[in-house]
Structure 1
Amino acid sequence: MAGYRELLRAPGVARIIAAQLTARFPNGMTSLAILLHVEQMTGSYGAAGLVLAAASVGQATSGPVTSRWMGIWGMRRVLTLTTAVCAVALLALALIPMGIAGYMAFGLVAGLSTPPVQSAVRTIYPKLVNARQLTPLFSLDASLQEIIWILAPVVITLVATQAGTVPGLLLIVVFLVAGGAWFILSPEVGRVRIPRSRRAFGKVLGKPVVLLATVIGFLLIGACAAVEAAVVATFGHGGLEAGLVLAVFSVGSLAGGLAFGHIPIGPWAMARRMAIVAVGLVAAIFVVGDVTSAATPWWVSACLVVAGVGIAPALAVMFAMTSASVKFSETAEAYGWIGTGQLIGAALGSAIAGFLIDGVGHAGAYAAAAGFAIVGALVAVVFVRGFPDLRGRDASPIPDTEPVPVIT
């Protein structure tokens, strides 16, 4: 922990981490709030699912685009514009009664205008710390984001059920605007200028490292989404068990990221981390069928702690290897593509788990989660030569260079 204390004492690091976590806090509340609000207004979970799907499609589509815009118009302009549009769309969802088509349209706009805070902050990090501290900083970031997934769903559920879904959506707008303003006005955001990329849009995805990070991120988050569905199916909506078990899952990820953040990243780092996730999820398949109902929460929690230990460290490897393998002008777009892969993985993981729950029971959802993780580990093993060796190497982005005119 001494290393993390030293890291947080670096100028601007603690401030930018706190600001970006606050700005991204709505990410853990919006989907659930939209689902609850539209279901309440229309009386249909099917309609709510369509609106949520529209928002997810918008968010997945916009990630690489708005991230690339930051190199054209600057981070502050893009973040200000997207925050304002997203806030207006959420206000419309909250305050204007409309049909399913209207809710879907505004859900799509809210998704398309989701501020690219994650891409922005991970582009800023290499400019805040020295080469030795960059990998631990990525690990700390991946670990602390678990706070969002632990607290945000609890907060929005309490507000929506006790005060109503409209106050819940309004609370999200408050976090979006206040957290966004804090992040946008941070001095570090103003000091870092992303050069305009000279390559065509999407070309960065052709880099093997970026493609690997996108594919493995898709599989890892697909596994996490399947776990969420599996836990809810196992313990139901009415009690505390599901929320507590998922909180334990996130705590395991937080602990793993903090414990392993200082370990140098070699080519086999991703395979080892994904293997940890796979082992925990495979164990959960057997646990849900072999223990008494009273003991199930404890055994499932134990398995998910093991699986969670690998998640934040795996994300840290993705961020570090991407940073070290692309030009600085391409980092924001690269992180945008990785985020899109993760969103698609979340949607597909939830869908597959849902079908399996209906067909074979909740054990099928754990099997889906384990399947995603196993495939992720196999991809990391088969393509191990595509992972950079960052042991003793600077993980900062490749500098952008231009021809210098020489007078002869």
Structure 2
Amino acid sequence: MAGYRDLLRTPGVGRIIAAQLTARFPSGMTSLAILLHVEHITGSYGAAGLVLAAASIGQAIAGPITSRWMGLWGMRRVLTLTTVVCAASITGIALFELPVPAFMVLGMLAGLSTPPVQPAVRTIYPKMVNSRQLTPLFSLDASLQEIIWILAPVVVTFVSTQISTVVGLLAIVVILLGGAAWFISSPELGQVRIPRSKRRFGKVLSRPAVLLGTFVGFLLVGACAAVEAGVVATFGEGGVEAGLVLAVFSVGSLVGGLASGSIPMGRWATARRMAIVTVGLVITTISLNVWWVGGSLLIAGIGVAPVFAAISAMTTSSVKFSDTAEAFGWITTGQLIGAAAGSAVAGFLIDGVGPVGAYWTGAVFAAVGLAVAVVFHRGFPDLRHADPSPLPDTTTIPIQTV
């Protein structure tokens, strides 16, 4: 913890972490709010899963594109435009009772315009701290984002079930606008300029660490999305148990992330951390008792933030600074496609065989992620004695000869 205190004393670090966490807080609320709202209107978890899938696909398409735009037009311009469009789309979902295809269109528009806060802040981090502090900063970031997943599900579940799902969605809009305004106004966004990448779009995926991080992230988030749908279906939309159980899941992730911050990351780091998630999710399928589900998700959560931290550190160390935002855009895309797949599969299995189908979906996604991390462990960089900072951008310097 002393290392984290020193890190937070670095000028600007505490402020930018707080600002980006606030800006990203709606990400822990939106999926659950849409799930509850659409299911309330249509009476079908399958329909709600389709709307969530449309939103996630929209985010997946936009992720690397809007991230790369930040190098062309600047972070503030891109973040402002996307925030306004996203807020308008979520407002439309809240205020209008529409057929499922229309909800899907609005969901996709909201996804396409999701502000690229995560790629922006993870591009800024290497310019704020020294190389020794970068890996702990990624661990701290991955851990503190679990505050979102601890508080957001409880807040949105309580508001949506005890007041109305419309109010739940409108609350998201208010937080989105306020949080994004704080982050966009942060001095660091003006001090750090992302260079225009000289590589063609998508070329960054040729880096093994980026490609593997994208695929592992896809499977991990797919597992988490399936579990989220399963918890809501298990404990119903009339109580607060679902939000509390999901909060316990996030507490495990918070603890695991903070504990792993000082552990060196070798080629097997991602595999070891995915193993914890897999074991916890497999245990979850044994019983749907609230204490059993909460306890097993606590175990699974211990590995979640450490996996995200490993993906961030290994991605940053494998690309040039000008490609960092796009790389994290692709990482985000993989995670959001995973959310779409996990939500859709879990939704239909809930309608078909009950909530246990969602937990099995999560366990299978995690197990495949573990297998990928094991089989392709050599594709991850060994950072135990290496600098995790981005590779320097180089250019040709003309030399005058006599």
- Report the TM-score when normalising by structure 2: 0.93
Q: Which amino acid aligns with 1:280?
A: G
Aligned-pair distance for 1:50? 4.3
Determine what percentage of the aligned residue pairs are the same residue.
72
Relative distance call for 1:143 and 1:175 in structure 2 (3 A) is same
Asked if structure 1 preserves the Cα contact closer than 8 Å seen for 2:74 and 2:194, the reply is yes
Question: Which residue, 309, 330, 333 being the options, matches 2:326?
Answer: 333
Determine the C-alpha separation between the residues in 2 that align with 1:314 and 1:125.
Answer: 18
Q: Does 1:342 align with 2:342?
A: no
Q: Following TM superposition, by how much is the alpha carbon of 1:99 offset from its aligned partner in structure 2, in angstroms?
A: 5.3
**Aligned residue in 1 for 2:196:** 196
1:240 and 1:84, CA in 2 relative to 1: closer, same or farther beyond 3 A? closer
Alpha-carbon separation, structure 1, partners of 2:299 and 2:159: 32
Q: 1:210 to 1:142 in 2, by over 3 A?
A: same
Q: Is the 8 A contact 2:35 2:48 kept in 1?
A: yes
CA distance in 2, matches of 1:165, 1:282: 32
What secondary structure does 2:170 align onto?
helix
Distance 1:101 1:362 in 2: 25
Partner of 2:105: 105
Relative to structure 1, the CA distance from residue 40 to residue 268 in structure 2 (aligned partners, 3 Å threshold; closer, same or farther) is closer
2:311 counterpart residue number:
318
Structure 1 counterpart of 2:14, one-letter code:
A
1:382 paired with 2:375, answer yes
1:69 aligns with 2:62: no
Stretch deviating more after TM superposition (198-207 or 222-231): 222-231
What's the secondary structure of 1:196's corresponding residue? coil
Where do 5+ consecutive residues of structure 2 fail to align?
Answer: none
1:299-348 CA-partner distances (Å, limit 9, x unpaired): 33222222111110011000000000001111111111111111111222
1:393/1:284 CA distance change after superposition, 3 Å? same
Partner of 1:275: 275
Bigger Cα displacement from structure 2, 161-170 vs 340-349: 161-170
What corresponds to 2:21 in structure 1?
21
Q: Secondary structure at the residue paired with 1:403?
A: coil
Q: Is the 8 A contact 2:85 2:110 kept in 1?
A: yes
- Rate the CA distance shift 1:261–1:186 in 2: closer, same or farther, 3 A: same
Aligned partner of 1:81: which letter?
L
Work out the CA distance in 2 between the residues paired with 1:84 and 1:219: 30
Cα distance in structure 1, aligned partners of 2:274 and 2:114: 29
Structure 2 Cα separation of the partners of residues 368 and 98 of structure 1: 29
Deviation at 1:200, TM superposition (A): 1.2
Shift of the 172–284 alpha-carbon distance from structure 1 to 2, 3 Å rule, reads closer
Q: In structure 1, what is the Cα distance between the partners aligned to 2:25 and 2:169?
A: 13
- Structure 2 CA distance for aligned equivalents of residues 189 and 10 of structure 1: 17
Question: Match of 2:147, as an amino acid?
Answer: I
1:187 maps to which residue?
187
- 2:221 matched to which residue of 1? 221
Stretch of structure 1 that moved more, 355-364 or 50-59: 355-364
Paired AA for residue 70 in structure 2 = M
Q: 1:31 to 1:322 in 2, by over 3 A?
A: same
Partner of 1:255: helix, strand, or coil? helix
| 1:332-381 Cα shifts (integer Å, max 9, x gaps) | 11111111111111222233334444555544433332222222112111
How much has 1:96 moved relative to structure 2?
Answer: 5.3
Q: Which residue of the partner structure matches residue 399 of structure 2? A: 406
- The answer for unaligned runs of 5 or more in structure 1 is none
Matched, 1:298 2:291: yes
In the TM superposition, residue 152 of structure 1 has moved relative to its aligned partner by: 1.4
Deviation at 1:243, TM superposition (A): 2.7
Superposed displacement of residue 394, structure 1: 1.3
- Alpha-carbon deviation of 1:29? 1.8
TM-score, with structure 1 as normaliser: 0.91
Letter in 2 for 1:278: T
* CA separation of 1:153 and 1:245: change in aligned 2, threshold 3 A: closer
Q: Distance in 2 between matches of 1:96 and 1:217?
A: 34
Q: Give, in whole Å, the separation in 2 of the partners of 1:45 and 1:281.
A: 21
Give the Cα separation in 2 of the matches to 1:363 and 1:93: 29
Give a deviation string over 1:252-277, Cα, whole Å, max 9, x none. 00000001111111111111111111
Residues 358 and 88 (structure 1 numbering): CA distance in 2 closer, same or farther, change over 3 Å? closer
Partners of 1:384 and 1:147 in 2: CA distance? 30
Shift of 1:46: 6.0
Deviates more, 1:108-117 or 1:316-325: 108-117
| Shift, 1:278, TM fit | 1.4
Give 3-state SS (helix, strand or coil) of 1:325's partner: coil
1:60-139 alignment, distance < 5 Å: 60-95=60-95, 100=100, 102-139=102-139
Given that 2:33 and 2:168 are in contact with CA atoms closer than 8 Å, whether structure 1 keeps it comes out as yes
Q: Quick check: 242-251 or 59-68, which moved more?
A: 242-251
Q: Could you give the per-residue CA deviations for residues 148-201 of structure 1, whole angstroms, max 9, x where no partner exists? A: 112112222333344434433332222111111110110111111111111111
Aligned to 2:30: 30
CA pair 301-102 structure 1, distance change in 2 beyond 3 A? closer
The 1:37–1:234 alpha-carbon spacing in structure 2 relative to 1, beyond 3 Å, is: closer
Change in Cα spacing, 1:9 to 1:298, as seen in structure 2 (3 Å) is: same
